[in-house]
Structure 1
Amino acid sequence: MRDLIPFIKLYQKHWFGLTIGMLLSFVTLAAAIGLLTLSGWFIAASAVAGFATIQNFNYMLPAAGVRAFSITRTAGRWGERVLSHNTTLKLLADLRIFFFDKLTPLIPGKIGNLRDADILNRLIADVDAMDHVYLRLVSPMIVGILGLFSISAFLCWFDLKIGLILGIILLLLMFILPIIFFVLGRPHGIEITQAKACLRISILDWLQGHAELQIFGAANRYREQAHRDETNLLNAQRRMAAITGLANGVLLTANGLTLVLILWIAADGISGNYPNQMVAMVTFATIASFELMIPVAGAFQYLSQTVTSAKRLNEIIETTPETQFNPNGYSNTAKGDIVFHSVSYYYDGHEQPAVDNISLHIKAGEKVALLGRTGSGKSTLLKLLTRSWDPSQGHIEFDSVPLSAWRESALRSSVAVVSQRVDVFNGTLRNNLSIAKPLAKDEELSDVIKQVGLSVLLKGTGLNIWLGDGGRQLSGGERRRLGIARVLLRDAPILLLDEPTEGLDVQTEQNILFLLLEHSKKKTVLFITHRLVGLKEMDVVCLMDEGKIIEKGSHQTLKAAGGHYAQLIGKQFITPHVNQPHTLT
């Protein structure tokens, strides 16, 4: 239950709507019990009046009461469902935002080992399970307790013994049955939550990697795994349904036995009177009283499923980010001066540093290339500059201010990044570009798309073209150029380019490099590559290997030195100076 505390606190924001929803639920329950109780009494009283030939029987008032209870029950049920579910959906929306806010600072650090499908399952299925806290636990229990005391007090008004006996029976059932069915449903609730996560992961793996799985002949194996996970989920749900059926059976049995007991007590009359129509009223009130027990019996049955989901969410919510920003930190926009002071970084569980004692000064407006083979530590340096991680040793400064002292918003506005993986969201081209510049006009967005050679996307629906999940409508080169378009819109003083021309043909590569160089004439540029492309335009070239800078200087200086860089040039073709581009298509 302790795992539910962070989520129950979120209910404070919607306390009014949830309270009104519970009041409407209580009114609906009271109307339902009143309808059956009054109807039973009315029918019995009418029959007695007929047999006894009573001349002054008032049937108008009870009939009006039956109609009033019927209307109240219908209207109350509609109002309670609308208000409670509307408030619950708003609460779940707030919970998703709360969860996402906690998730974002953890990327790509402590949750790097989690699968995308697992995170998606937590954001959707596990958050959805939190509606059980209110709809199946808090509301039924509060309404049930209020209803229990109300029906007991009502019957005590007519016969103290019957009212107390029925109240005690209902109170015992209310506290015993939830515990029993919580224990019975606990393993299956945990199994259902875990099976949902496994099924979502296996299906997403199969769908996203379908083409590659077909090529390597593994599609059937992944599909069979999805079927096994689906079977496990269905079996767990079937066992939980059996417990639900058992709960309903126990309630019906308890209702029947209680009814027999109350009839036996009331057989000699109510409050010492001769048996009359009041016996029917007590009988129907007993039957109706078990309506408040129906949701209570199952209230704790699904609690284990909810608690398991809460634990999975708390694994993210309670995790401390590896990098924490100071909300009152340095808030100016950077000028572009970057200094690495003996920076080293170790990945978790690795004794060998990914970056080893790097000291480097990049002056404002300077263009520096980091060259090296895959795994030499180039991209790690980029992650350290954006504070995805903090250095294990040493520190980094922007404009003589330690990176750890910067406010996050100031750092993000100072840096524009083209990473190796360009994230494309399932939305329109306009939405995907507006991330970089929310207030940009359509003309500006169209211009930058033309500059990066994606004019073909503007045909037809133009900026409203739908890019699909993960940019499925785009090729790898088009996604790369979309990332470059975002950098052009961002217009930050520091550009971090991680393999910006990877996957592009030679001519397009030349055009994109020229475009980036024109855009960054007065900006600080860190150009990361493992290819000998565009290096002549760089002020400084740093050759990295095994996390260290082994050579540093201009292209001409390093070439003349005859070291590792000169050997690379001798083995590979290096592109000439970037020329005026041809028209991009």
Structure 2
Amino acid sequence: MSQSADTAVPAAPGVDGRPGAGAELVQSLGEAAERRPRSRNVGALRRLVPFARRRKGDAVGALVFLIGATAATLGLSGAVRLLVDALTAPDISPERVNLWFALIGAVALALALSSALRYFFVTKLGERVVADLREAVYAHILTLDPGFFLRTRTGEVLSRLTTDIQIVESLMATSVSVALRNLLTLIGALVLLVWVSPGLTALVLMIFPFVLAPLFLFGRRVRRLTVSTQDQFAQAVGQAGETLDALETVQAFGGEAAAARSFDWAVERAFETSLRRMTARAVMTALVIALVFGGVVAIFWLGVHAGLRGEMSWGALFQFAFLAVMAAGAVGALGETWGDVQKAAGAMDRIAELLDARPGIAAPASPAILPLPSKGAVAFENVTFAYPGRPDAAALRNFTLSIAPGERVALVGPSGAGKSTVFRLLLRFYDPDQGIVRLDGTDLRRADPREVRERMALVAQDSPLFSGSAADNIAFGRPDAQPEDILAAAQAAQARGFIEALPEGFQTPLGDRARSLSGGQRQRLAIARALIRQAPILLLDEATSALDAENERLVQAALDEAMTGRTTLVIAHRLATVLKADRIVVMDQGQVVEQGTHAALAAQGGLYARLVALQFGQAA
């Protein structure tokens, strides 16, 4: 069956039983995932080699005790042969029997110790490699620009970071240990089999192509279905994440049942694909075991007849049987672990896609040095920009604006005029398609994005907070901040009062995204986080929109003080904020259409005057 046939799924039912929009989105993502190129082997697991090289000590320990455990296992066959030959000898004595049993006991003890140490070092190495992989993937995700997350849902990224890496962890912590042990056992057993009986060993080797065939034929299908299962499960997680992020909206519109049905559909599709994977793996395992042990029984039958004819000693026959069973067991175990390898390879394929993703915004090889100290001069020169995926809808068109150090500029305009885009380009989340954005005279394309952002402090309209304490959230703006700095920032943002009223004051856990606070309290915390940064440029995107009149007055006073000596860009609709600006820049359809003071622009009777009349009334 082709890959597309394996992964094709019907549309999920919507509220009325017809395919829903959410289901169509999931299905389209699934089809896109299936179109991604996939390797046809386990080559994706080579990406783990650099991580293993960093832990050479554990790797050497694992190899030494792996060889030791294998040698002890194979040594048991030799000890058994000596014992059987001694028991069948005509001059048998109790002392010799005791000697051979003592030898078997010593070999078993060596096997126990080496196996325990093998397990420890192999498992430690695997867990360490996976931990390093997890850290590397997350650190790499943090470097990706916002454009990547316009193409990839956060839930799918988190699925790869958790579920897929967990599959690789299962391989590295368990399956690799089993596979390496059985591989060395198989090789050693075959060498000894040739030494004991070349003829019977040749028959054993003739069976191998029949055993390997199911591994390769079904292994590819197992791996392909594993990738498909993980893709579909990641889409389900992404869909669930979107729903939970907007749970209040879902409940307000009575959409719980529809959301649950859509998620159920996605999970069921993943389960059906997983069921096909399990069936293929079960068939593969049955074929391998049947072929291996059927061949062993047939060869052992031939060996018994050879012993009866006196062509080989009974000790040699027992050793051959012991080694043959050992080799058969190793092949069977390798067949089991091969499915795990295929599954992990599919997961590693998806992880590699994250590691291979390159941020569109990155520091150049030789970044320009920004002037110190920063003056805070900003300039946009004939900038044109369209967001990825919307090349025909330019957010800015030939946008030109110069802001002097220490100047307060308010950006005003209707929704979609490009005001927030100005902030995103200045923070270098994106680069302009045409034109230049400058900071202190330096083209931002030539600068390191981290250095650019270190000179700016942002307060967004809905600034996200984190689940730590109030002190943690404020100090996020400056990790080296001292307690007195945190206190001063909270005081300046008019946040100290409500923070100290919390059960544990500044150390009170705020819960997921600080949702235990009101909108105004969250916004004041965000302002404190920006103030503690002490950056030369302040970016305020409706920073006081969530505050009531009294709090707005208090916070506005704090912002006025913070803006002193700093370049400030304000996206504002409220008249109080606009009046404080040195200059008002009116934007429409990505262009500057008017500039000036409030009085001058109101007198012109243009777009600004109409916005003021609509939003603030004729009295404004």
Q: Same fold (TM over 0.5)?
A: yes
What's the TM-score, normalizing by structure 1?
0.88
Match 1:526 to one of 555, 561, 569: 569
Q: Distance in 2 between matches of 1:360 and 1:271?
A: 101
Aligned positions, number: 573
Q: Distance in 1 between matches of 2:165 and 2:507?
A: 31
8 Å contact kept, 1:158–1:271: no
Of the structure 1 ranges 327-336 and 483-492, higher mean CA displacement relative to structure 2 is found in: 327-336
- Deviation of 1:23 after TM superposition, in Å, equals 4.1
Counterpart residue number, 1:246 = 283
Q: Measured at CA, do residues 270 and 279 of structure 1 come closer, stay the same or move farther in structure 2, by a change above 3 Å?
A: farther
SS at match of 1:364: coil
- Deviation of 1:329 after TM superposition, in Å, equals 1.7
Match 1:501 to one of 544, 554, 573: 544
Q: Measured at CA, do residues 432 and 261 of structure 1 come closer, stay the same or move farther in structure 2, by a change above 3 Å?
A: same
Q: Measured at CA, do residues 136 and 241 of structure 1 come closer, stay the same or move farther in structure 2, by a change above 3 Å?
A: farther
Q: Deviations over 1:446-481 (max 9, x none)?
A: 332343343333433333322223333233333222
Q: Which amino acid aligns with 2:565?
A: K
Of the structure 1 ranges 74-83 and 516-525, higher mean CA displacement relative to structure 2 is found in: 74-83
Q: Which amino acid aligns with 1:216?
A: F
Counterpart residue number, 1:356 = 397
Counterpart residue number, 2:147 = 109
- Deviation of 1:366 after TM superposition, in Å, equals 0.6
Q: Which amino acid aligns with 1:413?
A: E
8 Å contact kept, 1:496–1:525: yes
8 Å contact kept, 1:136–1:299: no
8 Å contact kept, 1:540–1:552: yes
Alignment of 1:78-477 (within 5 A): 78-131=116-169, 134=172, 143-166=181-204, 168=205, 172=209, 175-253=212-290, 254-269=292-307, 273=311, 275-332=313-370, 333=372, 334-347=374-387, 348-454=389-495, 455-458=497-500, 459-477=502-520
8 Å contact kept, 1:126–1:312: yes
Q: Measured at CA, do residues 152 and 326 of structure 1 come closer, stay the same or move farther in structure 2, by a change above 3 Å?
A: same
- Deviation of 1:30 after TM superposition, in Å, equals 4.2
Q: Deviations over 1:251-284 (max 9, x none)?
A: 4322243133134134323996564333223222
8 Å contact kept, 1:417–1:487: yes
Q: Distance in 1 between matches of 2:313 and 2:350?
A: 59
Q: Distance in 2 between matches of 1:256 and 1:43?
A: 27
- Deviation of 1:39 after TM superposition, in Å, equals 7.3
- Deviation of 1:336 after TM superposition, in Å, equals 0.4
- Deviation of 1:376 after TM superposition, in Å, equals 0.9
Q: Measured at CA, do residues 505 and 292 of structure 1 come closer, stay the same or move farther in structure 2, by a change above 3 Å?
A: same
Q: Deviations over 1:425-463 (max 9, x none)?
A: 333333333322111122322332343343333433333
8 Å contact kept, 1:148–1:171: no
What's the TM-score, normalizing by structure 2?
0.83
Q: Measured at CA, do residues 229 and 77 of structure 1 come closer, stay the same or move farther in structure 2, by a change above 3 Å?
A: farther
Q: Distance in 1 between matches of 2:74 and 2:262?
A: 50
Q: Distance in 1 between matches of 2:80 and 2:217?
A: 33
Q: Measured at CA, do residues 559 and 481 of structure 1 come closer, stay the same or move farther in structure 2, by a change above 3 Å?
A: same
SS at match of 2:152: coil
Q: Distance in 1 between matches of 2:122 and 2:499?
A: 45
Q: Distance in 2 between matches of 1:575 and 1:396?
A: 37
Q: Deviations over 1:90-127 (max 9, x none)?
A: 22232233323433343211331322211111222223
Q: Measured at CA, do residues 461 and 576 of structure 1 come closer, stay the same or move farther in structure 2, by a change above 3 Å?
A: farther
Q: Distance in 2 between matches of 1:68 and 1:183?
A: 43
Q: Deviations over 1:385-431 (max 9, x none)?
A: 01111111110111111111212332122111112342323333333
Q: Which amino acid aligns with 1:160?
A: P
Of the structure 1 ranges 304-313 and 137-146, higher mean CA displacement relative to structure 2 is found in: 137-146
- Deviation of 1:485 after TM superposition, in Å, equals 1.3
Q: Which amino acid aligns with 1:502?
A: S
Q: Which amino acid aligns with 2:476?
A: I
8 Å contact kept, 1:181–1:300: no
Q: Distance in 1 between matches of 2:109 and 2:490?
A: 61
Of the structure 1 ranges 120-129 and 542-551, higher mean CA displacement relative to structure 2 is found in: 120-129
1:479 has 2:522 as partner: yes
Q: Distance in 2 between matches of 1:530 and 1:60?
A: 96
Counterpart residue number, 1:74 = 112
8 Å contact kept, 1:181–1:298: no
Q: Measured at CA, do residues 575 and 32 of structure 1 come closer, stay the same or move farther in structure 2, by a change above 3 Å?
A: farther
Q: Which amino acid aligns with 2:321?
A: T
> Structure 1, unaligned stretches of length 5 or more?
578-585
Q: Distance in 2 between matches of 1:122 and 1:197?
A: 7
Identity over the aligned pairs, expressed in percent?
24
Q: Distance in 1 between matches of 2:464 and 2:444?
A: 25
Q: Which amino acid aligns with 2:335?
A: A
SS at match of 2:616: coil
